[in-house]
Amino acid sequence: MLKFYFNGSPNPTKVALFLEESGLPYEAIAVDTRNGDQFQPDYLKLNPNGKVPTIVDGETCVFDSNAILLYLAEKTGKFLPSPAARGELLSWLMFAATGVGPYSGQGVHFKHFAPEKIPYAIDRYLFEVRRHFHVLDSRLADRRYLVGGTYTIVDMDVWGWARMIPFILGEDGWASFPHLKRLHDEIDERPAAARAKGLKDRFAFKATMDAEARRHMFKHIVA
């Protein structure tokens, strides 16, 4: 059975969505990053980058949520567009992988978790968050889904971070992205999305962001 190493953050949650949508049997294995589980030697053998998610599928180990989504889609033949749209699939998947996720993650860090509030950093990352979400919103202005007219791993990928918009940009953050919100809401209402979001509740993850958690989550902090 496929092993899925995860926590409740956006990147593992979008992989959980695929697993729930596809019906692939899997064993969920909690990696509590606030306790430093991601740096345990056995886990680093699977994912040298010390992050989640990771999957182990028989003899195959895959890390990085975007690589995992593509691997699982190709393995199962599910949630892929037609072959003619493969170029679009790769383009938008990499747009999410290299832009949406990293800028959103850094926006969250500097806005909510950085020990020092640095206006330039906050402004820089939130500008890029908004810019990337605007690109997605414009793409969705005249189509239901992002690629090929069907629900694909790209939509799952984007949903993982789009659901964090109120946390990143504030409670009125959705106001600028009506088309993206429509896609988010459609996916969020799917039973598989509820199961994916609820997966973390079956495990006892550390809830507090104390000094120990900060040392594990943000390795550059030495005290």
- CATH 1.20.1050.10 maps onto the chain at 83-189
Query: Residue 30's closest CA among 171, 203, 162?
Result: 203
Count of beta carbons in the 10 Å neighbourhood of residue 47? 19
Query: Residue 188's closest CA among 214, 166, 210?
Result: 166
Cis peptide before 53 (omega within 30 of 0): yes
User: pLDDT digit string (tens) for 37-74?
Assistant: 999 999 999 999 999 999 999 999 999 999 999 999 99
Q: Does domain 2-78+195-217 have CATH number 2.40.30.60?
A: no
**Summary mean pLDDT of the chain:** 95
Mean pLDDT of 144-166: 97
User: pLDDT digit string (tens) for 132-147?
Assistant: 999 999 999 999 999 9
Count of beta carbons in the 10 Å neighbourhood of residue 7? 22
- CATH 3.40.30.10 maps onto the chain at 2-78+195-217
Q: Which amino acid is at 68?
A: I
What residue ranges in the chain does DSSP mark as E strands?
2-6, 26-30, 54-57, 60-63
Residue 221 has pLDDT above 60, yes or no: no
Residue 223 has pLDDT above 80, yes or no: no
CA–CA dist 46, 208 (Å, integer): 27
Mean pLDDT of 88-94: 98
CA–CA dist 171, 190 (Å, integer): 23
Q: What percent of the chain lies above the pLDDT cut of 90?
A: 90
Query: Residue 108's closest CA among 33, 169, 66, 31?
Result: 169
CATH code that applies to domain 83-189: 1.20.1050.10
